[in-house]
Amino acid sequence: MESGFYSYSAKSLQGKEISMETYRGKVVLVVNTASRCGLTPQLEGLEALYKKYKEEGLVVLGFPCNQFMRQEPGDENSIAQGCMLNYGVSFPMFSKIKVNGKEAHPLYKYLRKELKGCLGNAVKWNFTKFLIDREGNPVKRFLPVMAPAKIESYIRELLNTEERKQQKTERAENPTDKSGGNPGRIRK
């Protein structure tokens, strides 16, 4: 069995088991969320990124967590309603999980191992963000205070990397002459 990001799954807020394989080929931003945190307004910024780049291959995955000062006390229904009503969240949200300790969700154990934080591998607070490239490789971890708008350049870079690879492949399949024109074109 493949190990890595795509080998994990989690339950959606609706109780459906979702494999991370669903997001193969996408740039993924994984975020632990909370509805009663001073950083909760970041949901609006995360939604803005998702709407802006989802057609290019970005998906944001929200994982509610109640481990930090009990700032996510609600059940799945109240979490879903709060995210939608207050912040218009349309990106995938998952059931409440633990991100630290022995009972941490396996996906978070993996992400913490792959991308350590500045003070070790524990998630320090709500809205810690993990960025995954299109091949499922964890590439960057962002502190909770890092506003979504400030990570947009990293997302764009990963989205554009795929575009550049595609252009390179197209050039290799359709070589041009030294003038930069199409093959068979006569230079005057």
List helix spans (H) across 11-89: 42-53, 76-87
Q: State which amino acid sits at residue 99.
A: V
Smallest CA-to-CA distance from 139 within 149, 127, 151, 123 is with 151
CA 14 centroid distance within chain:
20
Provide the token pair at 147. 């506003």
Is 118 noted as a catalytic residue in this protein? Answer: no
Question: In sequence order, what DSSP letters do the residues of 101-133 get, joined into one string?
Answer: STT--HHHHHHHHHS-BTTBSS--STT-EEEE-
- Output the CA torsion sign for 159, 42, 141, 136: negative
Say how far apart CA 5 and CA 20 lie, in whole Å.
7
d(CA 138, CA 132): 4
Give the residue numbers annotated as catalytic, written as ranges. 37
